[in-house]
Structure 1
Amino acid sequence: MKKVKLIFVAFILVACFINKIQAQVQGAESYRPQFHFSPKKGWMNDPNGMIFLNGKYHLFFQHNPNATTWGPMHWGHAISTDLVNWQEQKIALYPDSLGTIFSGSAVIDKNNTAGFGKNALVAVFTHHDHKVEESKSGLPAQHQSLAYSMDEGKTWTKYSGNPVLRSPGLQAFRDPKVMWYEADKQWIMTLATGGSATFYASKDLKSWNKVGEFGVGFGSPEGTWECPDLFSLPVNGGQKWVLLSSLSSGAPNGGSGTQYFVGQFDGNTFTPDHKDVRWIDYGTDNYAGITWSNTGERKIFIGWMNNWTYANVIPEQGWRGAATIARDLNLKQVGNEFYLTSLPVKELNGMTGKTNVIKNIQVKGDYDLSAKIAAFNGKFQLELATVVDESFSLQLGNRKGEMLIIGYDKANNNFYMDRSKSGLVSIPNNFAKNIIAPRIAKGSPVSLKLLLDASSAELFADEGLTVMTNTFFNSEPFNQLYIKTNKPVTIQKLKYSGIKN
């Protein structure tokens, strides 16, 4: 009997130990998103080198595998067949004698223009020489280089003639985004060059000539341009060109963000249709995003879900940094102008559980949806459409009293996301605040799509005309949800579902 008691006590102690370890592991992973990419360990910032090849989406990213703060940059690598579930691969590109590996892009050289082999996967990236930078010699530290792979990105060979494009004397000369420009049968590189984007052309990916520049006098006057992207989109039976440019500072809600321009490109010159500053995302946590190569007319965008004002000091749990949800980009006409829209990729619909629909909800005061979303454990998708454009809010909360408030303000014609009471808000540089985005759509009904994933909220309003991405750090999942109004509001349709991963 004594032996049985000892075994029972031992069993209890082991069970307690296992529960303690599980709790620690759970705590260590409490902020990790479930249907967004994040590295297993270490630091992540800019997505780069994204390419679609043989049914697989390749996501490369700026990566410091040895620390959870920005440091010697490598190209990390992940693969997905559906843009939602990602499998991290071994590191693709390591620093070398020419420097660390900054952002860039990848293309498929179908015609073997570079001589590496037919259908070679070619990465074009910035070599950054920290020794030159630290010497304060005044010499430029950033140059463009190549690497190629003949086995779908499993192994890489750096070109022996690197760098292929040396800086003309600029300190900021980085983040090449390369595309094939069919009209001139040549490659076009869009490069971040301080306060502008510069266009270079090449027949072979090795010899480059400057053909144009854009940026002076356009867009936001603040910050350094980074991670540009130039691509065309079909619209109204024709096409227009879109130029993305991330800015290190000066975003509408503070810190870093990504502006865009809609216009025309003739192989040398980009001519915008508008003078006003437009942002692909008005939230604080979408930066350095670019699109996948080799996807035809479909343009798929993904960004870094962070902000340089606090990126190195947000909570870390052995890893730090994640990507936004992948998004389909399109153009939509509003009045006489064209605006960029972004919505979660259609593949996400295949990851949702049962979709629940409620129609014609009359809300005056509070409407409690907590029982309907509690089981999702803070990871779900919600969509709603109103009948008229009256003010309302969605209040997400938990039993600790933490809350995230998302809403539409009719008087000021804007959307907002208030994270001032969302959990850990003592993060420096004005993290705890109400984040505001303008309403671009015209007309009465308001539509929202909200993605919530552990520690991030992505809001797509009016079919993606206004977008906000923000992170937060609550101590337990938001399993309470109320729709709140001051005046009666009719919700024409509300849909919600959990997301499986």
Structure 2
Amino acid sequence: MSIIHGIDFRPSILRSALIGALLCASIASVRADNDGPATEQWRPAIHYTPARNWMNDPNGLIWHDGVYHLFYQYNPSASHWGNMSWGHATSSDLVHWKEQPVAMANNTREEIFSGSIVFDKRNTSGLAVNGKPALVAVYTSVFKEGSGHESGVQAQSLAYSTDNGRTWKAYAKNPVLTLRPESKNFRDPKVSWYAPGGYWLMTTVVADAHVVKIYKSSNLIDWEFLSDFGPAGVAGNGVLWEMPDLFPLPLDGDANRPMWVMLVNINPGSIAGGSGVQYFVGTFDGKTFNAENLPVQGADLSEHRWLDHGADYYAAGTFADAPDGRRVTIAWMSNWDYADRVPTSPWRGAMALPRDLALRTIDGVPRLVSTPAREYLALVNGVAASRWKALTVRSTTKPLDLANRTAPQDIDLVVEPYTAKRAGIVVAAAADGSRQTRVYYDTKAGTLTVDRTRSGDTDFSPKLSGRHIVYLPLNQGKIHLKVVLDKSSLEVFAADGRTVITDLVFPKAGDDRISLFAEDGEARFSDIAVRPVR
């Protein structure tokens, strides 16, 4: 597999990406912002990350003319948050990404915060050029002194492109939507086409009020308020709601049974601490979203619905116009509790794997399930695997003999805990076992755990949570796990996507052993396949 953070070889990009340094052995001596030596041993191979500098929320997700566009919050100047602009990457397959020039840069009037992009094929906005319909970005302007707004005010603005997203022009009459009185927490517009009504929908948030505001427009410029959703779910003091996304999905694959899903990213207060993604399922009548099966007020966090139960999955959004009616999501793989301390250089920030979403009835209730995007699955399934049909482990740890331990690994296995107290898999382990990351099932508790307390570099932040646990019943005494292990991350897809746990890990050099283990009893493992993802 080619490196996922491919670089555009035009001269302007060569300078900003330091492509020469990235392609030579002297990379270890490169420094960025005095953050320390380069840490290429932790640069993801199967997850997108920019060549250098800070990245956070994905923005402007769209499939257009056969290309997936990933825009994202980006600091063009440093590897810490600031100078918010839109970075840009493209892919034809959701796996191999090519970094593009900065799409929209912060300027003397505004910083460019999160937003979305739609293809205005009907030219409702009138922004087409020479008959070519525009891609229209709706984003949050954060105004600066001298802009005509109080410094820090947030409002929604437009920019448009008629060259497939390469260059963007700001709409002359920005902003197109602001609150009265103006707010410093009104942000993150997600726009989509509502076919039954023949109009555009926008969801945006008043972050500190725990409210998603829903608007409609016939032209992407003039917006009419429809309704508010919230507060609901996790909405305590200090919690911010961000990056909403409202979309339909067929229940259990039945197109005649659509339901609506609302993603709301929250920080802090998630199930794993700090940042996370809660979701709601219900109905939408073109004006109001009504969530069903809400937990009672004050319910434990485990009673709420989470798109991911790990610490490092935030700002999730979905791609507009994905082919075949798919709903594909991607998220920032980090956590605001420690994002500015993640020990990577000269870049800081990565994206999780793109995932296919589906709505499935589980225990009588509609729930989101997430699986790696089918393009990723097709690619790894074509890689030769080390296989074991069945192994039994009794109160010990059994190493797996792998020909290639240094590459990122895609691991499939079925765990039957049987009489063991705990059973699972150890990854990214030192030869003596002193450092390791463990994924295991606790038979008595009925829970799945990712334990990164000894995963390598863990002292860069006191807020780095160590164990992430989710209740998950066995199916006929077994559980299927897919573990995607990259250079600095772990994504565990359990029970065919019913539960996902995503965590950053920073193993030491040479920590590449993989083992199965059982504690205090016998466990059986079957259908084991380990594929090196080159």
Name the TM-score, length of structure 1 as normaliser: 0.91
Quickly say closer, same or farther: Cα 1:475–1:140, change in 2 above 3 A: closer
Deviation at 1:444, TM superposition (A): 3.0
Question: Once the two structures are superposed, what CA deviation does each residue of 1:43-66 show, in whole Å capped at 9, x if it has no partner?
Answer: 000001010011110000000011
| Cross-structure match for 1:180 | 193
Match of 2:311 among 258, 272, 284: 284
- SS of residue in 2 equivalent to 1:90: strand
Q: 1:206 & 1:173 partners in 2: Cα distance?
A: 17
Do structure 1's residue 191 and structure 2's residue 204 form an aligned pair?
A: yes
How many residues of Structure 1 are paired with residues of Structure 2 in the alignment?
A: 479
State the identity as a percent.
35
Checking the alignment, whether the CA contact within 8 Å between 1:52 and 1:58 is kept in structure 2 is yes
Checking the alignment, whether the CA contact within 8 Å between 1:140 and 1:171 is kept in structure 2 is yes
- SS of residue in 2 equivalent to 1:474: coil
Matched ranges for 1:413-424 at <5 A = 413-424=446-457
Q: 1:129 & 1:366 partners in 2: Cα distance?
A: 60
Matched ranges for 1:75-474 at <5 A = 75-117=86-128, 118-131=132-145, 141-169=153-181, 170-194=183-207, 195-221=210-236, 223-236=239-252, 237=254, 238-276=257-295, 277-295=304-322, 296-352=324-380, 353-366=383-396, 368-372=398-402, 375-387=404-416, 391-396=422-427, 397-399=429-431, 401-431=434-464, 433-439=466-472, 444-474=477-507
Q: 1:131 & 1:490 partners in 2: Cα distance?
A: 64
- SS of residue in 2 equivalent to 1:106: strand
Quick check: which has more Rg, 1 or 2? 1
Question: Could you list the runs of 5+ residues in structure 2 that have no partner in the other structure?
Answer: 1-22, 31-36, 296-303
Question: Once the two structures are superposed, what CA deviation does each residue of 1:448-467 show, in whole Å capped at 9, x if it has no partner?
Answer: 10000001000011111111
Question: Once the two structures are superposed, what CA deviation does each residue of 1:390-422 show, in whole Å capped at 9, x if it has no partner?
Answer: 631212202373211111112222211111111
Deviation at 1:474, TM superposition (A): 1.6
Q: 2:305 & 2:414 partners in 1: Cα distance?
A: 25
- SS of residue in 2 equivalent to 1:348: helix
Q: 2:54 & 2:68 partners in 1: Cα distance?
A: 21
Question: Could you list the runs of 5+ residues in structure 1 that have no partner in the other structure?
Answer: 1-17
| Cross-structure match for 1:31 | 42
Match of 1:21 among 15, 21, 26: 26
Quickly say closer, same or farther: Cα 1:443–1:249, change in 2 above 3 A: farther
Task: State which drifts further: 438-447 or 292-301.
Answer: 438-447
Instruction: Give the alignment's Cα RMSD to 1 decimal.
Output: 2.2
Q: 1:469 & 1:328 partners in 2: Cα distance?
A: 15
Quickly say closer, same or farther: Cα 1:218–1:21, change in 2 above 3 A: closer
Q: 1:428 & 1:254 partners in 2: Cα distance?
A: 13
Q: 2:222 & 2:168 partners in 1: Cα distance?
A: 21
Q: 2:364 & 2:185 partners in 1: Cα distance?
A: 36
- SS of residue in 1 equivalent to 2:401: helix
- SS of residue in 1 equivalent to 2:196: helix
Q: 1:493 & 1:41 partners in 2: Cα distance?
A: 39
Quickly say closer, same or farther: Cα 1:440–1:269, change in 2 above 3 A: farther
Q: 1:321 & 1:272 partners in 2: Cα distance?
A: 33
- SS of residue in 2 equivalent to 1:91: strand
Quickly say closer, same or farther: Cα 1:208–1:485, change in 2 above 3 A: same
| Cross-structure match for 1:8 | none
